[in-house]
Structure 1
Amino acid sequence: MKNICFTLFAFSISLTASLACDVCGCSLGSNYFGILPQYDKNFVGLRWYYSSFFARMDHNSEYMEDEYSNDTYQTFELWSRLYLTDRIQLFASIPYSFNQMEGSHQKVTAAGLGDISVLANYTLVNTGEDVGNPWRHTWLAGGGVKLPTGDFRQQDQGLLVNPNFQLGTGSTDFVLNTIYTVRFQNVGLNLGTTAQLNTENPEGYRFGNQWNASTQLFYWRQMKYLSILPNIGMYYETGEMHTDNGIRQLNSGGEVWLAQVGLDIYYRDVAVGFTFKNPVSQQMNSDEVAAIESKERIMISLIYNF
């Protein structure tokens, strides 16, 4: 799913179209920082996101056939961090998405450029490495913009595909975030939160505002040129209902809690990361007919520090 598409998953379902996961909900995925590698360096890297969702609509009618959809969302993201000054970091992400909708009434594939994001973070606190002090703190805060570079007018059989399945939202949206990391010797805790404030696109459709928060407990093990960083934690995301020309859309918005486990490996200037998330609790704003379920998520990353 697009990333990142975020943090949350909102979903829109119509009686004549296939059920689909909210592509916008994952847009925050592109703005997910997690445990930032080698804090004092620039980097460029690739990330791959995978998400899957299942939705169904039980009409309980002899005249209307039940509907279902298995949807998968993959995003290949080029992202980078550059220091503009000692305290200001610039982040940029360029996603390429591949979405598949396998439904009872519709099968659609979408591939192409997604919505590009550019953010800047300011370092509020950075205690650095001090041999005499086992504690280390870093705190960043900032924000940026998500640009409407992805296609949001894709059609299938002459009809506009569900907005949730489009490669982009068609709107210019604004992102706020903060990241705090504390480490005592080899054990640390990473806390992060991101909010996305969405605007209306040229079609009059507006995805609900979204917010996520994560906490990760990690262990840092240094071995000459090689370092490993296993981590475990929780991830939460939520989204408001969507609107279409000011009218609130049923079966959109909700919240989900995911348990996550990961491993980062650093060798000299190269870092490889793996994260797996699995839902433990979720509550979507679905009506009595529709049921929407978020499945597992996977992220794999490769970074070069310079």
Structure 2
Amino acid sequence: MFHKITLILVGMIISLSFVKACDVCGCSVGAGSSGLTTLFKKNHLSLSYFGYGFDGALSQTLSTHDKHYSLTASLRFTPANNWYVLASVPYKWNTRTSLNGNYNVNGIGDVQATLNRVVVNSKFSSTSFYLDAGAGLKLPTGNFNLDLAEGNLPVNFNTGNQAWSPVARINAFLTYKGLGILLSPSAQWSFENAEHYQFGRQLSAQTMLFYSLKISGSFSVTPYAGWHYENIARDINSKGKYEHGTGATGNYMLTGFNVKFNNYVADLSLAQPFHSQYANEEVTAGHRFSAQLTYLF
């Protein structure tokens, strides 16, 4: 039971990391994923909500406020022992309010699918260690339109990249009784799309401490806290030059809690930025909020 609670928790945490995006500054970290939630011996369906924002930091953009939201459905299934496939489909809506007017862009985002291998799943008395690795593709299913720049919007205000993007990740955690620590790095690369635009390489990692409180046989609560880091290289535009307002380095303090009842799991998370730089400090990052509901079957 504790293994299941642990996997649910770290899955929600990883979901927060992979859904993150700084579209306002021309970068996007991965697509939605339910992460280690997929490592249950049971398959699952998951629905995740994610929201974040950026404010203009220059004197001429102080009144500009960008908000980005996504709703992601994911499915996990097991084709063979110690292997699992995770597929996710996001729907995105992005809004900007400014002195020049209000803008809205929404639609289906880029579908992502990964194949993952369980490498280690060991338990020694009260201690357990888990490690898996996965790789896959983010598919060019979302809309990408360079003409958004004419409306004073960054290119990544689009709902998709229209590029084939390989992704890779490693998930590891160590537990002792109810206490655990998680470490999870990931990476994404993007090929040049049909508009001859190439998004920058994206790296992210997080570490997290959590403690599982078992209330009853079917009910548990797990609070957690930790740190998330992301680094996104600058994009290269169709002229072969670096795109203005792209590239980022972000640090976030993460807090949240996880509730499990029978086959249902709910999670709420908040990420607060610190020592972060986006779009060459032309924007200021706001907090990030996520909510996820998972059904195990």
Give the structure-2-normalised TM-score: 0.87
Alignment partner, residue 75 of structure 2: 80
- Cα distance in 2, alignment partners of residues 156 and 177 from structure 1: 32
Task: Tell me the secondary structure at the aligned position of residue 32 of structure 2.
Answer: helix
Determine whether 1:197 maps to 2:198: no
Aligned residue identity for 2:117: Y
Task: Tell me the secondary structure at the aligned position of residue 156 of structure 2.
Answer: helix
Runs of 5+ consecutive residues of structure 1 not aligned to the other structure: 12-19, 59-65
Task: Tell me the secondary structure at the aligned position of residue 150 of structure 1.
Answer: coil
Alignment partner, residue 174 of structure 2: 182
- Cα distance in 1, alignment partners of residues 108 and 189 from structure 2: 21
Aligned residue identity for 1:124: V
Aligned residue identity for 2:293: L
Alignment partner, residue 262 of structure 2: 268
Alignment partner, residue 25 of structure 1: 28
Contact 2:171 2:183 in 1 (8 A): yes
Determine whether 1:100 maps to 2:95: yes
Contact 1:122 1:142 in 2 (8 A): yes
- Cα distance in 2, alignment partners of residues 96 and 213 from structure 1: 24
Matches within 5 A, 1:215-234: 215-222=207-214, 223-234=216-227
- Output one character per residue of 1:46-105: Cα deviation in whole Å (capped at 9) or x when no partner: 0000011112444xxxxxxx2342100110000121111121111111000111011232
Offset at 1:155?
5.1
Runs of 5+ consecutive residues of structure 2 not aligned to the other structure: 1-15
Alignment partner, residue 273 of structure 2: 279
Alignment partner, residue 5 of structure 2: none
Alignment partner, residue 52 of structure 1: 53
Determine whether 1:173 maps to 2:165: yes
- Cα distance in 2, alignment partners of residues 250 and 87 from structure 1: 44
Alignment partner, residue 293 of structure 1: 284
- Cα distance in 2, alignment partners of residues 197 and 157 from structure 1: 23
- Cα distance in 1, alignment partners of residues 17 and 192 from structure 2: 19
Alignment partner, residue 85 of structure 2: 90
Offset at 1:160?
8.7
Q: Which residue of 233, 240, 243 corresponds with 2:236?
A: 243
Contact 2:25 2:247 in 1 (8 A): no
Aligned residue identity for 1:297: R
Contact 1:139 1:180 in 2 (8 A): yes
Offset at 1:175?
0.2
Alignment partner, residue 136 of structure 2: 144
Contact 2:25 2:246 in 1 (8 A): no
Cα distance change of structure 1 residues 205 and 168 upon mapping to structure 2, 3 Å threshold: same
Aligned residue identity for 2:223: P
Aligned-pair RMSD on alpha carbons? 2.3
- Cα distance in 2, alignment partners of residues 54 and 210 from structure 1: 22
Cα distance change of structure 1 residues 73 and 268 upon mapping to structure 2, 3 Å threshold: same
Bigger Rg, structure 1 or 2: 1
Offset at 1:114?
0.4
Cα distance change of structure 1 residues 216 and 198 upon mapping to structure 2, 3 Å threshold: same
Aligned residue identity for 1:180: A
Aligned residue identity for 1:283: Q
Cα distance change of structure 1 residues 220 and 158 upon mapping to structure 2, 3 Å threshold: closer
Task: Tell me the secondary structure at the aligned position of residue 40 of structure 1.
Answer: coil
Aligned residue identity for 1:270: Y
- Cα distance in 1, alignment partners of residues 58 and 252 from structure 2: 24
- Cα distance in 2, alignment partners of residues 237 and 274 from structure 1: 21
Alignment partner, residue 134 of structure 1: 126
Task: Tell me the secondary structure at the aligned position of residue 164 of structure 1.
Answer: helix
- Cα distance in 2, alignment partners of residues 274 and 284 from structure 1: 25
Alignment partner, residue 119 of structure 2: 124
- Cα distance in 2, alignment partners of residues 30 and 146 from structure 1: 10
Q: Which residue of 145, 153, 158 corresponds with 1:153?
A: 145
- Output one character per residue of 1:5-48: Cα deviation in whole Å (capped at 9) or x when no partner: 546x3x7xxxxxxxx343x424x251462x53773221111000
Give the structure-1-normalised TM-score: 0.84
Aligned residue identity for 1:225: S
Instruction: Identify, as 1 or 2, the structure richer in helix.
Output: 2
- Cα distance in 1, alignment partners of residues 241 and 154 from structure 2: 16
Percent same amino acid at aligned positions?
Answer: 22
- Cα distance in 2, alignment partners of residues 29 and 97 from structure 1: 11
